[in-house]
Each structure stands twice: as C-alpha cells, then as structure tokens.
Chain A
Amino acid sequence: MDSMTLIAIVSMICAGVTIAVGSVAPALGEGRAVSAALNSLAQQPDAASTITRTLFVGLAMIESIAIYCLVISMILIFANPFWNHVIAQTTGK
C-alpha cells in the first residue's frame, strides 16, 4: 500500500481514537465536580454565587482537556499537514 493510503488510514483512525478516548476522562471529572457542587449547594445555599462561580471555573479547566483532544482531531481531519504535503507532491508531479 502506498504512502498516500497509509497516511489517510492512520490519520482517520487516530482522529477517531483521539476524540473518543479524550472525552471519557473530562466527562467523568466534570460529573464529579458538578456532584460535589450540588452537595455543597444543598448544605449551604447562601454561598450559592461563590460555589457556582468556582464550579464554572473548574468546569472550564476540565473542559479544556477535551478541547485539546478535539483540536488535534480536527487538525487531523481538516488541516492535515502530511496529507497536504502528499497531495502537493502528487499534483506537482
């Protein structure tokens, strides 16, 4: 199998595995964060604004891990440098 096919196969498989595996852990982490926030809201409802704000900041930091995986996956599918290089070679030939 020539290099073009190999690059395409590996890129597609890696893009799928990246986003699939990379969204498991942040989702679990966010679930635990929200559950802890709900517990503390139930215990102390008048600290609601502080708890909510801290919850959002924490969720954003956890979410950014999933965003890193999404960005890699999108780059592999849509802006793949190896694929562009190989395409440029074959059209230039």
Chain B
Amino acid sequence: MRLSPDELVFWHYGFVSLNSTIVTTWALMLVMTVGAMLITRKLKTEGDISRWQGFLEIVVTTIQQQIKEVGLQYPEKYLGFIGTLFLFIAVSNLCAILPWYEPPTGSLSTTSALAVSVFVAVLLFGIEEQGLGGYLRSYLKPTFIMLPFNIISELSRTFALAIRLFGNIMSGTLIVGILLTIAPFLFPIFMNLLGLLTGMVQAYIFSILATVYIAAATRTRAA
C-alpha cells in the first residue's frame, strides 16, 4: 500500500526522477494558470460581467477581507503569497474527487516545501517591515533569556504546519483505500466526502496560520 505519491515514479534518469507528486503539481499549476489567463483576458468593470470573472472577484475579495480581519492593514502586499497558498492547497485537495488522482499535498515533500516557504516569508516580511536589526531584536522581546525558546517556537511552528497538512490529507486517502478493501460499496463515498471537507478546512487553516505568523512578525513595532 503506497503511503505517499512520491513512491510512484514515472521516469528517471540518473538522479533526476519524475514521481507522481511532481507531475501532479505541474498539472495543477498548468490548469490554474491557464484558467486564470483565460478568465482575465477581457476584464470589465461595468456592464455584463461574465460569471467566471464574478467568481474570481469573490475569491480575491474574500481572501483580502480575511487578511485584513486578522490584523494586517495593507492586505495587497500579502495577497499574492497567502492567496497562492490557499488556492494551491484548496485546488489540490478538491481535485481528489477525480479518479486516479493522488493529491500532491499528501506527500511530505510538498507540505514541507510549503511550510519552509511560509518560514522564509515570515522572515522576509518581518525584515521588510521592521528592518533587519528591529526584526532580530524582536526575538529578545520579553527578555533576552527567551531567545532559544523563540527560535524553537519558530521551528516547531514550521514543522507543525507541514505535518498537520500532510497528516490530514494522507490519512484521508489512506482511509478510503483501506475501506475499499473492507466495505467497498457506500462507506468509501462518505469518507471521500469527509476528505474533501477536511481538505478545504486545512487549506483555510494553513493560509490563516501563515497570515497570523506574518502579522505577529510585522506588528511588533506599533505595539
């Protein structure tokens, strides 16, 4: 029984190998980019707006409003990063309804990459907002004895982000696989439904946690 889509290798040459995770991620990137380009080819501000443009407007404004509610005052700066996180994880989990599809977020490599990118983004946004000295000084914030604990909490937050997403998605696909061998008629459908729901919730949680970490790193100056 395959524990992660990393183990299905389509093609390898030397040390370069294309496994199912990489190919699925490329396919998702292609679909999302081409879809967005097709929808935004003729943007209109008045008159008869097409349904797809309205849908994209809803998505973008909702993400912007959520970022503002968490406490970041200028959401446009962070909308690209956080919106991409949410949309990539949401689309890759929602496509689990397609047959023979294994979500790339069910592989620890994808989720670790996303968590590391959040870690680097918090660093960069914090330095951009407070300057290098100010940001590093924020690690000494309550007292300087807290320095190792602040560093450990940063690293464990990143680790927890990766493991949370991986564990939820991997266990969802594994449960459906096991149930197909035990009680194949109706029960796997309900577990698949539950997997879709937890996929959307985990996408929301990942992006909201990224927003909260960025807000914590950029807010300290005003407080």
Contacts and interface: CB of A to CB of B under 8 A. Distances in A.
A70 B167 contact: yes
A53 B205 contact: no
A68 B3 CA distance: 15
B84 interface: no
A47 B212 CA distance: 19
Interface stretch (A6-14, A29-37, A38-46, A56-64): A56-64
Interface string A67-93: 110110011001100000000000000
B1 A60 contact: no
A57 B213 CA distance: 12
Interface residues of A, number: 17
Nearest to A75: B3
A5 interface: no
Given A67-B167, A70-B171, A78-B1, A60 B69 contact: no
Nearest to B202: A60
Contact of B171 (A53, A64, A67): A67
B22 to A, nearest CB: 20
A71 B163 contact: yes
B116 interface: no
Interface residues of B, number: 20
Report whether over half of chain A's contact residues are helix, strand or loop; otherwise say mixed: helix
A71 B167 contact: yes
A68 B167 contact: yes
A79 B2 CA distance: 9
A74 B208 contact: no
Nearest to B2: A78
B204 interface: yes
Given A57-B205, A78-B1, 11 more contacts: A56-B208, A57-B212, A60-B201, A60-B202, A60-B205, A64-B164, A67-B167, A70-B167, A70-B171, A74-B171, A74-B174
B3 A79 contact: yes
10 contacts: A56-B204, A57-B212, A60-B202, A67-B164, A67-B167, A71-B170, A71-B171, A74-B3, A75-B3, A79-B3
Interface in B198-223: 201-202, 204-205, 208-209, 212
